[in-house]
Structure 1
Amino acid sequence: MKVSMVTAPGQTAVVDVPKPTVGPDDVLVKIRACGICGSDALYISMGGLPPHQGRQPLGHEPAGEVIEIGSAVTGFAVGDHVVVNPMVAPSGIIGNGGATGALAEYLLIEDAVRGTSLEVVPDHIPFEVAALNEPMAVARHGVNQCRPQPTDSVLVFGAGPIGLGATIGFKSAGVRHVVVADLIPARLEKAMKVGADAVINSADEDVVARLRELHGPGESIFPGKAGTDIYFDAAGVPAVITTALTAAKSGARLGIVAVHKEPVPVDFLNIMSNEITVVGSMGYPDEIFEVTKDLIENWQKYAEIVSHTIPFDDVEDALRTASTPGAADKVVVVFD
């Protein structure tokens, strides 16, 4: 079978490897779609992660079809459409430095257990949408970390895949009003399509003033605060933190799921005096299949997140497109 691998710093190739043999506790999945993550570009730039540097399989956002089931495995049938938890593979995290990757024709799921390593999705869900399950679990964990309540009002910074997924997640959690801020009009249009109540183009609008219009004034010993309860950073730029803390009222929450690549100055007097909660979010400790239910129920909204579907035959082009700033929002590789 063919697998997309990191072969050297800055280089990838499609490599022929033996098709996996299914053991009694395993399931073999024919990959039908696999998303490309920003971390893939990092692995490529590094030449892969130990111990597979120079030969690291890529791909950790898969959806596929069960084609073979081990004799001891229950809960699956040949032909089931499935999504995968890449974190629990015994041979290492799938596509994240482990021995296997999902940018491949087939993926062996070792010690397969439904609800732990795989979950079945209905056949009507397009594979390219099902492949969003893993990144949307990242978004959902970020939402859960913010402890949203139905009476809350929210501002999501960044209308990329995670920000859009968080927007859907907040609305699915029953939050009354969600605003999305971004610099790119096309992304803001997508935010409205997936359920945002309002958007702010932060390139030409005063974000704090607009929030006060949308969510009212916020209580604080300092003037000019907005009534927004939760600020969600899916953008990863210092201006987001500055803007959120400028607007944040007493008791507001700031959730950070974006990767910041440079230090960010923070006014701790503001955090202390307004008792602002700052919470980080990483991965998806419990959300990998929690989000599946919402993905199934709202798949048309999640479908808006996919900007490009590129055949596996052109996987090198897909990887370049995904790593080029501004070229794409979410690239999903699809298989015949």
Structure 2
Amino acid sequence: MHIPETMKAAVMTKPREIVVETRPVPELNGDEVLVKVMAVGVCGSDVHYYEHGRIGNAIVKNPMILGHECAGEVVAVGGAVSRFRGGERVAIEPQTTCGRCPACKSGKYNLCPDVVFFATPPVDGAFAQYVKAREDFLFPIPDHLPYEEASLVEPFSVGIHAANRTGLKPGATVAIMGMGPVGLMAVVAAKAYGASRIFVTDLEPIRLEAALRLGATHAVNVRERDAVEAILARTDGLGVDAAWETAGNPKALQSALLSVRRGGKLAVVGLPMQAEIPFNVHAITDREIDIYGVFRYANTYPSGIAFLASGIADAASLITDRYSLERTQDALERALNNKSGSLKVMVYPNA
């Protein structure tokens, strides 16, 4: 395949400013693969970096390429690569870990202290025509799975990891607070794991409607009704087996805790702006609630691809806005300012 020496990349030069620049195509190490990026989803973290220039202690100090939910076509491989060849379609797990630390060796490589993650300062991301990745973080996708749906395996993986962390079993009941893209894909994860009832909460009707299409059984608009009251009313006052808070909203986290049955499980997925928030310790201890932190994901991509390829849910219906690489700033503005009308915004770097 012909590979150019340079490529276009959408670079954040400062908050609220994206400039399309010409950059060298990445050079490969022996165990790396060069991928022509065909689709990149706009994530909430991309929007946060774009708006504020930081997430907690992760600060954008130099021009940086955002984007980490991506899929594309293999165009070149390093000399030590054995699993891929040119022309193959792949989803990219946007992280590289050391493989040697205790976390990596235990299978919890998402906790590797030396992880390198796309679009996390100072690492460039995927709003570019080409990216490189180590071969063990690439996964083949079937021909019938479109690139944009394959890019959704990244947010889907967060929901799969939450299901794994909370030990979700067939027949279980689950509540998911916050129907942003991660929350919506978490609905698909709960469905894939066999949840019998899936309660969802949000402020926006478009997101609640999307959740119901994806497999949620009960939707609560928290502008109109208290989430805990609604969930308890439909579970005979018992609560759900597991609750996942995906919005990063302190009030939603409190509601998630209070919606869990005695002996149930709470997963903290979303990150609030403030590091410390009040929590009902009496509710935790009196009911012996197990609390799980969820940080990204590990060992989820093969099952995520298999689930989406099976047609378990119409993931494509989440894609509401499509932009070229040259309009990456418009894509980020759309995701930032149109929460009542947009679900997943997608960028196509090689369109």
Q: What is the TM-score with the length of structure 2 in the denominator? A: 0.84
Considering only aligned residues, what root-mean-square deviation do their CA atoms show, in Å?
2.5
Range 166-175 or range 304-313, more displaced: 304-313
Aligned length: 324
Deviation for aligned residue 1:265: 1.9
Of 91, 95, 102, the residue aligned with 2:119 is: 95
Instruction: Tell me the percent identity.
Output: 30
CA pair 120-204 structure 1, distance change in 2 beyond 3 A: same
Which residue identity lines up with residue 289 of structure 2 in the other structure?
Answer: I
Of 13, 24, 36, the residue aligned with 1:18 is: 24
For the pair 1:53 / 2:87, whether they are aligned, the reply is no
In structure 1, C-alpha distance between the alignment counterparts of 2:31 and 2:264, rounded to whole Å: 48
Q: Between Structure 1 and Structure 2, which shows a larger proportion of strand residues?
A: 2
User: Could you say which residue in structure 2 is the equivalent of 1:107?
Assistant: 131
In structure 2, C-alpha distance between the alignment counterparts of 1:50 and 1:282, rounded to whole Å: 15
**What secondary structure does 2:81 align onto?**
coil
For the pair 1:322 / 2:328, whether they are aligned, the reply is no
**What secondary structure does 2:139 align onto?**
strand
In structure 2, C-alpha distance between the alignment counterparts of 1:193 and 1:210, rounded to whole Å: 20
Which residue identity lines up with residue 244 of structure 1 in the other structure?
Answer: A
In structure 1, C-alpha distance between the alignment counterparts of 2:196 and 2:206, rounded to whole Å: 24
User: Could you say which residue in structure 1 is the equivalent of 2:241?
Assistant: 229
Deviation for aligned residue 1:194: 0.5
User: Could you say which residue in structure 2 is the equivalent of 1:223?
Assistant: none
In structure 1, C-alpha distance between the alignment counterparts of 2:303 and 2:122, rounded to whole Å: 24
**What secondary structure does 1:17 align onto?**
strand
Q: Deviations for 1:306-328, whole angstroms, at most 9, x for unmatched residues?
A: 22121112112112212226253
Q: Contact 1:167/1:178 (CA < 8 Å) preserved in 2?
A: yes
Which residue identity lines up with residue 280 of structure 2 in the other structure?
Answer: D
Deviation for aligned residue 1:101: 2.2
In structure 2, C-alpha distance between the alignment counterparts of 1:172 and 1:137, rounded to whole Å: 12
CA pair 8-210 structure 1, distance change in 2 beyond 3 A: closer
User: Could you say which residue in structure 1 is the equivalent of 2:91?
Assistant: 83
Deviation for aligned residue 1:24: 4.3
Q: Deviations for 1:251-287, whole angstroms, at most 9, x for unmatched residues?
A: 1211110111134322211211111122211111332
Which residue identity lines up with residue 123 of structure 1 in the other structure?
Answer: D
Deviation for aligned residue 1:52: 7.3
Q: Deviations for 1:78-123, whole angstroms, at most 9, x for unmatched residues?
A: 22111112211789422222554211011122xx43xx21001012
For the pair 1:6 / 2:8, whether they are aligned, the reply is no
User: Could you say which residue in structure 1 is the equivalent of 2:281?
Assistant: 268
**What secondary structure does 2:220 align onto?**
strand
Deviation for aligned residue 1:296: 1.9
Deviation for aligned residue 1:300: 4.7
User: Could you say which residue in structure 2 is the equivalent of 1:37?
Assistant: 43
Deviation for aligned residue 1:22: 4.1
Q: Contact 2:157/2:304 (CA < 8 Å) preserved in 1?
A: yes
For the pair 1:170 / 2:186, whether they are aligned, the reply is no
Q: Deviations for 1:15-53, whole angstroms, at most 9, x for unmatched residues?
A: 111123445433221110011122223333327998973
Unaligned runs of 5+ in 1: 219-225
